[in-house]
Amino acid sequence: MKRIIPYTKEARKHAKALRLNMTLSEKLLWEVIRKKQLGVEFNRQFPILNYIVDFYAKEIGLAIELDGSSHDNMVLEDGIRQGEIEKLGVHFLRFSNNEIQNNVKDVIKEIKKDIEEHK
């Protein structure tokens, strides 16, 4: 299903910059999910509304967020942001940087399970 996801020019510009400065966890996960390795195409640092999600699969409306220390004091803001994006029909999976760096196999299993449920 083709989804039209609105975004602002500012978010698009910021997303472009973020793609050039990915975190270690983002790089590790990207190596496993890029090029349709899991059966759906993911984009990285994808603008939605005035926000950027770490990874997004348009085909199934899946956003994947990696939460590192920058999110520690942003629980309320992250919740509001996620709620606004979910109103567009997007669903989320969230993982900590620790999960990606120390247990990426289980993270991939969870992502694959979600893909199968939403395809």
pLDDT category, 67, cuts 50, 70, 90?
confident
Give residue 2's pLDDT.
55
Q: Which of 3-7, 61-65, 99-103, 104-108 has the lowest mean pLDDT?
A: 3-7
Secondary structure (H, E, C), the chain: CCCCCCECHHHHHHHHHHHCCCCHHHHHHHHHHCCCCCCCCCEEEEEEECEEEEEEEHHHCEEEEEECHHHCCCHHHHHHHHHHHHCCCCEEEEEEHHHHHHHHHHHHHHHHHHHHHHC
Tens of pLDDT, residue by residue over 39-62, are 999 999 999 999 999 999 999 999
Domain ranges of the chain: 23-118
Q: How far apart are CA 74 and CA 57, in angstroms?
A: 24
Percent of the chain with pLDDT over 90: 84
**Rg of the chain (C-alpha set):** 13
Q: Which residue has the tokens 């694959």?
A: 112
Who contacts 57 (Cβ-Cβ below 8 Å, separation ≥6)?
40, 41, 42, 43, 115
Return the CATH number of the domain spanning residue range 23-118.
Answer: 3.40.960.10
